[in-house]
Chains A and B, each alone.
Chain A
């Protein structure tokens, strides 16, 4: 197994380790297949409160409350969920709450489901328009470093930062 292939198998663990290092305590999420391993790791850590949401915007409110109470968090979702967040992002940007979001991309690389394509195309520009600093992981070996950079800008500069994890990194969902 070459090193690139090896990295592709460990990137969720690399991200988890980065989140531990950044002292993340609250992990609201709407599940995505691409986040499966990371959600499992967070749920298994008693120092983290992994909270399943009914819709992604709930996580933006929750993490504002977490920061008010002195805790750091991260919101996990897939690209379709970004569309659900737009107005609630004003809470983070107006009050300058640190907000870290990890977004697994659909609708961009070998996508089977046409219903994923609108938000696959729109996620980056929409987040930028809403005032979020957008980072992107296109190679699995960059995962930890990118998440750490986004966490630092979020928590040290009181900004909303998103990390988009490319569909090519996650692997394309196959219906068969």
Chain B
């Protein structure tokens, strides 16, 4: 199906991005979640709006670093950054920065469709063998996961909540474009809503 996967010699992806996001935030408790612009922001909204969500509509490449600042400020809370492969590729240096800080409460999860979905499904570097988990491991993440199927996803979920971070996972998903589910794009509102829910 996917020409990219044929190039990489791996089986084509089978996981669907919306189901993956639902699984990541199921029974989330007091988890803080940052989503990267584009599809992962729509996926997070589709999984259910929540005051502890911070949705990006821009600032491409910034999601993981927002997660780091939040994780350092709130060491007793778990922080999940869920972003796309294109967004992560624009901020690769942030993986090195995060690895140096070793925040135990931070997980960076890339929902990897090997495409820039927002702009017409053009292939990203991950369609051509760029191995994000290997890069995360190389800069010093201890907990690194490459997820391609249901069993590997099921094994990852408890680690997101419990394993000492920083954790990095890349989850290969099919390059489909589910219907838009748009959360508020009012950054001031989303910011203040999260702060009120978190800080009172």
A interface residues with partner B (beta carbon < 8 Å): 25-26, 49, 51-55, 57-71, 73, 87-88, 90-91, 94-97
Interchain Cβ contacts under 8 Å between A and B, 23 examples? A49-B72, A53-B93, A54-B96, A60-B62, A61-B62, A61-B68, A61-B94, A65-B68, A66-B70, A66-B72, A68-B194, A68-B198, A69-B32, A69-B70, A69-B71, A70-B73, A70-B199, A87-B59, A91-B58, A91-B187, A94-B187, A94-B188, A95-B188
- Establish whether residues A53 and B69, one from each chain, have CB atoms under 8 Å apart when the complex forms: no
B154 CB, nearest partner CB in chain A, Å: 29
- A55's closest neighbor in chain B, by CB? B93
- B164 within 8 Å of A by Cβ? no
B interface residues with partner A (beta carbon < 8 Å): 32, 34, 54, 56, 58-74, 91, 93-94, 96-97, 100-101, 187-188, 190-191, 194-195, 198-199
- Establish whether residues B74 and A90, one from each chain, have CB atoms under 8 Å apart when the complex forms: no
Set of chain B residues within 8 Å of A65, measured between Cβ atoms: 34, 65-73
- Establish whether residues A61 and B66, one from each chain, have CB atoms under 8 Å apart when the complex forms: yes
A97 CB, nearest partner CB in chain B, Å: 7
- B34's closest neighbor in chain A, by CB? A65
B92 CB, nearest partner CB in chain A, Å: 8
- A58's closest neighbor in chain B, by CB? B65
A83 CB, nearest partner CB in chain B, Å: 15
Set of chain A residues within 8 Å of B191, measured between Cβ atoms: 67-68, 95-97
Set of chain B residues within 8 Å of A70, measured between Cβ atoms: 73-74, 195, 198-199
- Establish whether residues B62 and A71, one from each chain, have CB atoms under 8 Å apart when the complex forms: no
Take A25-B73, A62-B66, A91-B62 as given contacts and tell me if A68 and B187 are in contact as well, using a CB distance cutoff of 8 Å.
no
Take A61-B62, A69-B198, A95-B191 as given contacts and tell me if A54 and B70 are in contact as well, using a CB distance cutoff of 8 Å.
no
Set of chain B residues within 8 Å of A58, measured between Cβ atoms: 62, 65, 91, 93-94, 97
Q: Please indicate which of the listed interface residues B56, B187, B198 has the most CB atoms of chain A within 10 Å of its own CB.
A: B187
